[in-house]
A and B are shown apart, each in its own frame.
Chain A
């Protein structure tokens, strides 16, 4: 018949007899005739494997492969070959959510490791089993703050938040009935004074900032957590997780919730997804946190075992009383990140961060030396920076592309460049040559 359908003519006959029908039509006798689909779908005829490969090769050839100096939330980091190889193990790939703990210890173990690693990197007590991506994790944190608060529905968001994230926050806020307000920027960083003024007006459930912010600037959040807590608002930090290998952690800044995207931990950019979101919080907030959580327990043979726990928080129990509708996590991508962090380990994550930092600062210095660029804000940055160009930015950007480079992301008339440990000096020097033309 067809390679995915094992039914022989004989099988069909025997099975239909058992079921008491003569043909497929009779299986669906209960469906009114006027809504039955008759005829053929207007899609292509069945394709061989070679045919499928041909379609994808043809489409792939229409994408331009560029050496990536873009970031804006999505970074081109090292992708160790071990990871896709392990992720293709079908025991991981083709399993469902680990409801049956007895035959899902593989998944439950790695999620426990993932939670442990996220808690370490963010400096927080608790992590959930992962979220869809960074933007939706931020939206969940926003709703969590409102649900944790008492009759408050305002959330303040730093102007340094990536507009892509902000747009998702706006969507959720509109429908969920949350009032979002922006904390203005002052010379490239979040204005603490304005935050205090807005907090004092009352009704604020949470305050959300991004680290490094959209311009790549590493902000000094001294005083932010205290200002929030004085007004009983939760302090939420959205961080680029790879950078937390060296940067002061959300835990150290006094955050109540830490969220963000895990993509910077070696997940391919793959045109926007799948990535993985992370969400961590203080122990106090564990029962307010959305998503799945894996915990340790024992089995009836006295062995250490792992299991999905605290499920009373989840949507399938709470139904319309739920404050999140998340049912799954982003399990396989959480495994990606877990294997990445196992390979890179304690030293590797720091080394990658230092290389990224050095590469970005080298590129920045060399661009400034051309005399055509200047930093929009004179503030400390990490591996991403925002410059203005004294010529035609669009023409420059196209020159980069023609030479095989994705020369950053165009943002408000300037360029936002990112450098990771995957780039090298030869590539950077080449980019600078084009920039200096």
Chain B
């Protein structure tokens, strides 16, 4: 990562007459596109030679930070290492060149891969069938809820339109339910961050016949295992609802506990979290949905083919590499790493729930609140020291949430260095708070004016050019 801003746009490198391609000549004879079909003006795309393009994007990449650059303890995102062998096999031309409408007898290898991955995921989750159509985690949530909605409809149980989610849930859960035409009921959390079972019983007693599902992550967004999960599942099942598992936090469960065995009926997996496929700056992901036997007939058509196929190839390469011996160490090692950081910092950062966590945990800002240094400031100061920031201001249960997830791939040395920097920032908050509040200092750009961007949106080169 280069700490000096490169800052150019490809349009600013353009010069009329330059090209970055070479296509074959037209030897088909005279076929002219009718003028009536054509646009009035050419699209104003850049004109650049190949090296200019290569340098431009290389320079842009140098203003970016990835897992390969440094420690990325972004809570709830599971920024684990993305193995290189996965990339190698996903690029094989024997798969890259397959048209999705090719007849099945010409794509046997690809189809076999899909069923092998399905088998592995069933085994790891304790469910019976998977659909790979969903393109991302949120898409998986929606797919799972549609599956549940169709199941109830098929039974003529049309009143089941309510989904229970914990108040600590990620915003995507309620949004997915809304898109699926379902209504949300929030169940309260206890002081220890887990579901208030009494509140849940009250909800079920009052509205049991309208409950379509309960949607949960386990461990929850605080990284805490919901120990009442068998009782919760029984309560929901008894009232006729289904249990939905948000696979966002599946990583610490590998080798430990399977959603199917916890009593869940439907779940999605984020292959880009638990199964090591790269996040790509915000996609492509993959969000396959698994179900208990009998529910697979309700899988909806949420995309035309097999979803993000080459992402699935990467996930399968990861499963093959780890095999049954090492896949079961993923959860324990991720959990050990998280608890190690938590125990090493809880004397200087506020730990609202002091208990064993799973893959991640949440601090409520610095312990010493007198300095005026906020979670935002801590996060920005971390950037100066070559770390990505943890997830901040989520979950909403605390004012100064700082959510840390180290993953199983990080060494004790990396964790120790991070711990030292976090302690140093806590110290600096007392001795030199302004330095922390004005951070970052050692990055390509400083803090940005979010208000300006939103108040006066400039979102294309055309508009930017006119402004400048």
Determine whether the beta carbon of B408 is less than 8 Å from that of A297: no
> Residue-by-residue, is B78-116 near A (CB-CB < 8 Å gives 1, otherwise 0)?
010111010111011111111111110111111011000
- The residues in B between 351 and 393 inclusive whose CB is less than 8 angstroms from any CB of A are 355-356, 379-380, 383, 388-389
**Complex interface: chain B residues within 8 A of A343 (CB):** 20-21, 48, 50, 53
Q: Is B261 an interface residue (CB 8 A)?
A: yes
Q: Which residues of A have CB within 8 Å of B53?
A: 82, 339, 342-343
Q: Judging by beta carbons under 8 Å apart, are B459 and A63 in contact?
A: no
B344: nearest residue on chain A (CB-CB)? A18
Proximity string of chain A (236-258) to chain B, C-beta cutoff 8 Å, 1 when within and 0 when not? 00000000111111001000000
Enumerate chain A residues within 8 angstroms of B42, measured Cβ to Cβ.
346, 350
Contacts of A164 in B (CB 8 A): 304
The residue in chain A whose Cβ has the minimal distance to the Cβ of B185 is A320
Distance A361 CA – B343 CA, assembled complex (angstroms): 70
Taking a contact as CB atoms under 8 Å apart, the answer to whether B68 and A86 are in contact is no
Partner-binding segment picked from A90-98, A193-201, A223-231: A90-98
Select one of B10, B24, B69 contacting A342, CB under 8 A. Answer: B10
B433 sits at the interface (CB 8 A)? no
Q: Which listed residue, B180, B257, B343, touches A35 by the CB 8 Å rule?
A: B257
Chain A nearest CB: distance from B62 CB in Å? 7
Q: Does A330 contact B (CB under 8 A)?
A: yes
Taking a contact as CB atoms under 8 Å apart, the answer to whether A97 and B279 are in contact is yes
Give, as a whole number of angstroms, the nearest-CB distance from A295 to chain B. Answer: 4
* A88-B28 contact given A18-B340, A112-B459, CB 8 Å threshold: no
B279 touches A84 (CB 8 A): no
Do A319 and B174 contact each other (CB < 8 Å), given the known contacts A271-B107, A380-B37?
A: yes
Q: How far is the CB of B411 from chain A (nearest CB, A)?
A: 4
Known: A43-B323, A348-B23. A274 touches B308 (CB 8 A): yes
Q: List 16 A-B contacts (CB under 8 A).
A: A15-B340, A44-B320, A105-B445, A117-B45, A132-B136, A252-B39, A296-B458, A304-B7, A320-B184, A342-B20, A343-B48, A344-B20, A345-B46, A358-B31, A380-B37, A406-B106
Alpha-carbon distance between A42 and B268 when the two chains are bound, in angstroms: 20
A51-59, A179-187, A384-392: which lies at the interface: A51-59
In the complex, which residues 200-237 of chain B have their Cβ closer than 8 Å to any Cβ of chain A?
A: 225, 227, 229-230
Q: Does B453 contact A (CB under 8 A)?
A: yes
Chain B 3-36 per-residue mask, 1 if CB under 8 angstroms from chain A, else 0 = 0011101110010001111011011110101100
A164 shortest CB reach to chain B, Å: 4
> Given known contacts A91-B69, A92-B61, A273-B311, what 17 new A-B pairs fall within 8 Å (CB)?
A4-B409, A27-B339, A41-B327, A52-B320, A90-B67, A91-B61, A112-B460, A171-B302, A244-B39, A246-B33, A270-B96, A271-B100, A272-B305, A273-B305, A274-B135, A322-B178, A330-B284
- Which residues of A sit under 8 angstroms from B191, Cβ to Cβ? none
User: Which one, B14, B40, B180, contacts A175 given CB within 8 A?
Assistant: B180
Judge whether B172 is part of the interface by a CB distance below 8 angstroms: yes
Please tell me which one of the listed residues B7, B91, B123 contacts residue A41 in the complex, with CB atoms under 8 A apart: B123
Which of A65-73, A202-210, A370-378 participates in binding chain B? A65-73
Report Cα–Cα, A57/B307, bound state, in Å: 22
Q: Which residues of B contact A309 (CB under 8 A)?
A: 450, 453-454, 457, 459
Give the contacts of B300-353 with A (CB-CB under 8 A). Answer: 300-311, 313, 317, 319-329, 332-333, 335-337, 339-340, 343-344
- How many Å lie between the Cα of A169 and that of B462 in the bound state? 32
Cβ of B196 within 8 Å of any chain A Cβ, yes or no, is: no
| Closest A residue, CB atoms, query B408 | A5
B118 to chain A, nearest CB (A): 12
Are B225 and A28 in contact (CB-based, < 8 A)?
Answer: yes
- Tell me, yes or no, whether B137 is within 8 Å of chain A by CB: yes
Report the minimum CB–CB distance from A74 to chain B (whole Å).
6
Measured between beta carbons, the chain B residues less than 8 angstroms from A46 are 321-326
A320's partner among B177, B279, B304 (CB-CB below 8 A) is B177
Q: Given the complex of chains A and B, what is the CA–CA distance between A110 and B448 in angstroms? A: 18
| Least Cβ–Cβ distance between B232 and chain A, in angstroms | 12
Tell me the B66-82 residues at the A interface (CB within 8 Å).
66-69, 72, 74, 77, 79, 81-82
- Residues of the A chain whose Cβ atoms lie less than 8 Å from the Cβ of B180: 175-176
Q: Does B47 contact A406, Cβ atoms closer than 8 Å?
A: no
Q: How large is the interface on B (under 10, 10 to 19, 20 to 34, 35 or more residues)?
A: 35 or more
B397: interface (CB < 8 Å): no
**Could you tell me the distance between the alpha carbons of A112 and B465 in the complex, rounded to whole angstroms?**
13
Complex CA distance for A175 and B29, rounded to whole angstroms: 51
> Quick one: closest A residue to B21, CB to CB?
A348
Task: Determine whether A190 belongs to the interface, using a CB cutoff of 8 Å to chain B.
Answer: no
- Residue pair B462, A120 in contact (C-beta under 8 Å): yes
List the A side residues contacting B98 at CB < 8 Å. 63, 269-271
Q: Name the contact of B62 in the complex, choosing from A20, A106, A320 (C-beta under 8 A).
A: A106
Find out whether the CB atom of B99 lies under 8 angstroms from the CB atom of A68: yes
Closest 9 CB pairs of A and B: A272-B305, A60-B94, A46-B323, A332-B280, A106-B64, A62-B109, A94-B66, A274-B284, A315-B175
Please tell me the number of chain A residues within 8 Å of chain B, measured between CB atoms. Answer: 196
Q: Are B172 and A327 in contact (CB under 8 A)?
A: yes
In the assembled complex, the CB of A375 is this many whole angstroms from the nearest CB of chain B, namely 15
Whether A273 contacts B309 by the Cβ 8 Å rule is yes
- 8 A Cβ contacts from A354-381 to B: 354-355, 357-359, 361-362, 380
CB–CB A346/B310 < 8 A:
no
- Residue interface mask A9-49, B partner, CB < 8 A = 1: 00110111011100010011111101111001111111101
Could you tell me if A328 and B303 are in contact, using CB atoms closer than 8 angstroms?
A: no
Q: How far is the CA of A270 from the CA of B460 in the complex (A)?
A: 30
Distance from A417 Cβ to chain B, minimum over Cβ atoms (Å): 12
Pairwise interchain contact B61-A106, C-beta atoms closer than 8 A: yes
Within 8 A of A (CB), among B417-468: 438, 440, 443-450, 452-454, 457-462, 464
Q: Are A90 and B48 in contact (CB under 8 A)?
A: no
Q: Are A244 and B124 in contact (CB under 8 A)?
A: no
Given A6-B411, A40-B324, A268-B96, answer yes or no on A12-B336 (Cβ-Cβ < 8 Å): yes
- Check: A431 CB closer than 8 A to any chain B CB: no
Q: Is the CB of A52 within 8 A of B89?
A: yes
Binds A, one of B141-149, B239-247, B289-297: B141-149
A351 at the interface (CB under 8 A from B): yes
B28, A361: Cβ atoms closer than 8 Å: yes
Given A35-B262, A315-B175, A380-B34, residue A358 in contact with residue B26 (CB < 8 A): yes
B306: contacting residue among A12, A37, A112, A272, CB under 8 A: A272
Does residue A151 face the partner (Cβ distance < 8 Å to B)? no
The CA-CA distance from A185 to B399 in the complex, in Å, is 57
- Contact B457–A293 (Cβ < 8 Å): yes
Does A433 touch B at the CB level, under 8 Å? no
Bound complex: CA A263 to CA B233 (Å): 42
